Structure 1
C-alpha cells in the first residue's frame, strides 16, 4: 500500500492540478466479498491486461477492475485509469469510486454498468445508434477540449464502451491515454493498438494527436452503422480495405439492400427516405473521419455537432 500510494500520489500531484474527485479506499477483503471472490459468473468484460467484475459493495452495485499485467508496464495500466478518471465529470465516462492499494496491482472500483458493447451488435433502431455515437463523441470532445492540456484516449473502440441499465454508453479503460505535453502537438511513443483501427500517420511515425482519436472514432462509426465488428465488415466483402469498403456500403444503400449487411432495425420492410438520408450522412461522416490525411479529418467537436444534428432530426 505504501509503495502504490506513493506512486499514485506523485502522479496525481503532477497531473491533476488539484481538481481530482475524491478517491475512496477499500480493503482486499471488502472487494473479495463484493465479487464472491471474483467469481466467473460476475465477469462483465475481459480486455488487454484486466478483467471487469460486477460486485455489490456497501449496499450498492459496482464494477471492479482487476489487473493481471506484470513487468515494466504494470504501473501504467492502473495509474492511468486512476489519474485520468479521477478528473472526469462526464455522464458518458465511467465514474471512478475508489481503489484498493493493498495488492501488488491495485484494484479499481467504478460505478455500476450492466452491458458490455451489446447495443453495438444488436438490431437497434438507427436513431438509437446515432444517439450512442453522439454521446461517445461528446465524451471524446470533453477529453480534447475540457482540460488545460488535451487528453488523447488512444484506443477508442467498441470494447471500451459499456452501458448502464438505461443503455447510456460509458467510455472506460484509460490505460493508454495521455496528456499532450505542454508546447507539443503530439504524444510520442511505441505504436500500440490494432493496425486496422490506427491512423496511417501514427503507424508511420509513432506520433499520436487528437486527429488520431478521430480516425479511431471513424472505425467506431462503421461498427455502429452496420452492427458488426470491423473484421466482420471486411470479411463480408472479401479482400476489402477500410477505405474501399465505403463504395461497397454505398452500393447497398443505393440499392435498398442495406438490411443484408447491417444488423440494424428500420421502419417498415426497408429504408424509408429519412433513414436513407441519415445512413448516407452517417456513412459520409465515418469516412471523413477515416481520411488518410489528418488535415482532412474534422475535429471531434465538429463530429459531435454533426451527430447532434442527425440525432435531433431523427
Structure 2
C-alpha cells in the first residue's frame, strides 16, 4: 500500500482482509468503528503485521471534503506530528484513507471523555504531557501555515482532530476543511463550517478566515487541556470556555478550574500553569489582529516547557 492511490479491486480486497469488514457494503458507522473525527469514522486493522486505521467518510460529507482531506494529508505526510497516510481510494462508494498507526492510540478527545463502551486510551495526562501535546500540535500548525507557497488554514481544529499514538505523540488528522489562502492575500471568504465552540467570533460574523482563525481554535484546545472541560456549558455555568477561564484568572482563582489530574502537581508547574493560561487566553482574544501567530505560540510553549522556578534559577 505504498502508492497513495491504488486500484479499486486491490484496495477493497486488502481493506476487507485487513479489517475483517466488507467495505463495499459498509455505508454507516457501526459498533466496529474505533473513533471518529469531524468528517468520518475509523476502522482498525492489521496489514502486513502493521497496525492500520482506515477512515471512511460520512455518507453526507461533500465529495470535495474527502478530496481535500486526502490532498492536504499527503502534503503534510512527512511531518512527524501528522498521522501518516499509506493509501487512499476515491473509487469506493464512500472514500477511504489508510493510515499507519501503532497498537495503542486514541483521539485526544477520548482522554477526557470515556466512550460509550466505558474505555479510553488509558493515559493520565500530567501537565508535562499536556505541554508536550500542545507543542507538537503547534509545530504541525506552523508547518501548515509556513511550509507551502501560501498559508494553509486547517479550519477545524478540535480535540477530535488530534490522535495520540502508542508513543504518546500527538498527530494532527482530518484536513477535510483546509483552505489555502490566495497568493498575496492574508484572508479569504468561505462558507461557515467547523466544530461548534471552536470557531472564532469574527468568522461567524464575516465568513472570513485567516491564519489567526486556527490560532483561536488552538487556544480553545489549550484551555481544554488546562481545565479538562469542554468549550460549552462549563461546569454548571452556561458560558464559553474562554470566558469561564478568563473570569477565574481575573479573580486570581486559576486553581479552582484546573483539571483535578494536574491540580495536585506542585513545584515549578504553578508558574507553567500561569504562563499556559495566559497564552491560551491570548490565542482566544476576540480580534484576530490581537492574537499571536502560531509560530510565536509554538516558541512560547517551548519556553514554558523550559521554565525554571526563579528561586531555583538564582540558587545555581
Q: Give the TM-score band, short-chain normalised.
A: 0.7 to 0.9
Q: CA offsets per residue over residues 208-251 of structure 1, 9 Å max, x none? A: 110010000110000011122222xx431513344431344327
Q: CA offsets per residue over residues 286-309 of structure 1, 9 Å max, x none? A: 110011111110000000000011
- 1:201-240 paired onto structure 2 within 5 Å: 201-231=202-232, 234-240=233-239
Distance in 2, matches of 1:56 and 1:151, equals: 32
Say whether residues 1:47 and 2:29 are aligned partners. Answer: no
Distance in 1, matches of 2:217 and 2:180, equals: 17
Distance in 2, matches of 1:138 and 1:41, equals: 34
- Displacement of 1:46: 2.1
Partner secondary structure for residue 268 of structure 2: helix
Partner secondary structure for residue 194 of structure 2: coil
Partner secondary structure for residue 86 of structure 1: helix
Distance in 2, matches of 1:105 and 1:272, equals: 50
Q: CA offsets per residue over residues 81-119 of structure 1, 9 Å max, x none? A: 111111111111111111134313321101115212144
Distance in 1, matches of 2:125 and 2:253, equals: 21
Partner of 1:246: 245
Distance in 2, matches of 1:28 and 1:174, equals: 23
Higher RCO, 1 vs 2 (CA within 8 Å, ≥6 residues apart): 1
Assess, with a 3 A threshold, how the Cα gap between structure 1 residues 49 and 288 changes in structure 2: closer, same or farther: closer
RMSD after superposition: 2.4
Say whether residues 1:56 and 2:46 are aligned partners. Answer: yes
Q: How many residues align?
A: 285
Uncovered stretches (5+) of structure 2, i.e. residues with no partner: 114-122, 309-316
Distance in 2, matches of 1:100 and 1:282, equals: 41
* 8 Å CA contact 1:150, 1:179 repeated in 2: yes
* 8 Å CA contact 1:35, 1:53 repeated in 2: yes
Partner of 1:172: 173
* 8 Å CA contact 2:223, 2:241 repeated in 1: no
Distance in 1, matches of 2:254 and 2:130, equals: 22
- Counterpart pick for 2:80 among 91, 108, 127: 91
More displaced stretch, 24-33 vs 60-69: 24-33
Partner of 2:188: 187
Q: Which has the higher helix share?
A: 1
Partner of 1:264: 261
More displaced stretch, 33-42 vs 165-174: 33-42
Distance in 1, matches of 2:238 and 2:50, equals: 49
Normalising by the residue count of structure 2, what TM-score does the alignment of the two structures yield?
0.82
Uncovered stretches (5+) of structure 1, i.e. residues with no partner: 1-20
